[in-house]
Amino acid sequence: MFLFLAGATGFIGNNLLPELRRQGIKGRCLLRDIKKAPSCEGFETVEGSLGDMPDNALDGVDTVVHLAGILHEAGGQTFESVHVRGTQNLVNESIKAGVKHFFYQSSIGASLSSASMYQKTKAMAEEAVKDSGLPYTIFRPSLVLGPGDGFTIQMARMISASPIIAVPGDGEARYQPIVVSDWIKCFLSALKDGGRDKTYELGGPEYFSFNELVREYMKAMGVEERKKLFHFPMGLAKAGLSLLSVAKVAGIKNFPPVDREQLQLLTMDNITDIDSVKKQFGFEPETVRGNIRKFIPEDYFTTSTGQLA
């Protein structure tokens, strides 16, 4: 097996590469910046992007693993350019190269009728993969958490910034986070044991409302007794009042940037069957509750007790 990995330097890619090396799996990483090649140690590297790959990028490749994606639009990267055009281009190159298996990382809630452009373009990418004629596997995970994940870092920043934690809306949308090591187990199973022309929805063994998830992070950081959640109407943001302005009114400092797309996602459940991993891959996934502290960078713990200062 020889893999081509797009998204190698992202959170999941960084966790997946060491396991691929341990499994003796060889491959090639697509890098926008070749200076990041050290993170792909043991793998070949090629410089380019989903929309602009060298002609020989897929030479000798039998399995494409497409993990690349964005959560917000910035720097000329849009959901349409990355998720839709980028995926279609990678699919086209895979067809020309005779790739035997195409893996795509999508998301729970991906739908052509979604009000979220993130979810809508993920669904459009899924359609491009399914219509390609290539044998495919699609993963639709809920939040994937582990050391270095972006969600945890954003949570830690928000909680450490102020005595008040600002939550748009009621915070009752539900999530089903899965630990990245369990995601990798599912991936390796689908990679080696079949899983062709299948779509898997994945989540951990617990449901959390957004409020509950924030409180789990507050507990892990040792501040649940000292900090409070502050809810403000989602309509304020949707009417055009910037979250930064709301934060200033509430006296909240260092409020992390949130765009309209992220606000939209905060109103939607992000869950599947509670035993999805057990049913589809035959093992019990780890719980997130009680393990979140392992995912938070040590920089956010500054006292001798290991709690947030």
What is the number of H-type helices and E-type strands within the chain? Answer: 11, 13
Mean pLDDT rounded to a whole number for the chain:
89
How many C-beta atoms surround the C-beta of residue 65 within 10 A? 26
Cα distances from 106 to residues 129, 180, 197, in angstroms, run 11, 15, 14
Strand partners, 137: 103, 198
d(CA 84, CA 86): 6
Task: Please give the torsion angle defined by the CA atoms of residues 76, 82, 85 and 91, in that order, rounded to the nearest 10 degrees.
Answer: 150
- For residue 242, pLDDT over 80 is answered with no
pLDDT per residue as tens digits for the range 192-241 = 876 689 999 999 999 999 999 999 999 999 999 899 998 888 776 555 44
pLDDT per residue as tens digits for the range 29-44 = 999 988 878 889 999 9
Contact present, 91 and 79 (Cβ < 8 Å): no
* DSSP single-letter state for residue 152: H
Percent pLDDT > 70 in the chain is 89
Q: What is the pLDDT of residue 304?
A: 39
User: What burial class does residue 167 get, using C-beta atoms within 10 Å of its C-beta: 0-12 exposed, 13-18 middle, 19+ buried?
Assistant: middle
pLDDT per residue as tens digits for the range 80-135 = 999 999 999 999 999 999 999 999 999 999 999 999 999 999 999 999 999 999 99
Coil vs helix vs strand at 124:
helix
Identify the band that residue 249 occupies on the pLDDT scale cut at 50, 70 and 90.
low
Coil vs helix vs strand at 179:
strand
Strand partners, 77: 74
d(CA 238, CA 48): 37
Q: What is the pLDDT of residue 305?
A: 47
How many C-beta atoms surround the C-beta of residue 146 within 10 A? 23
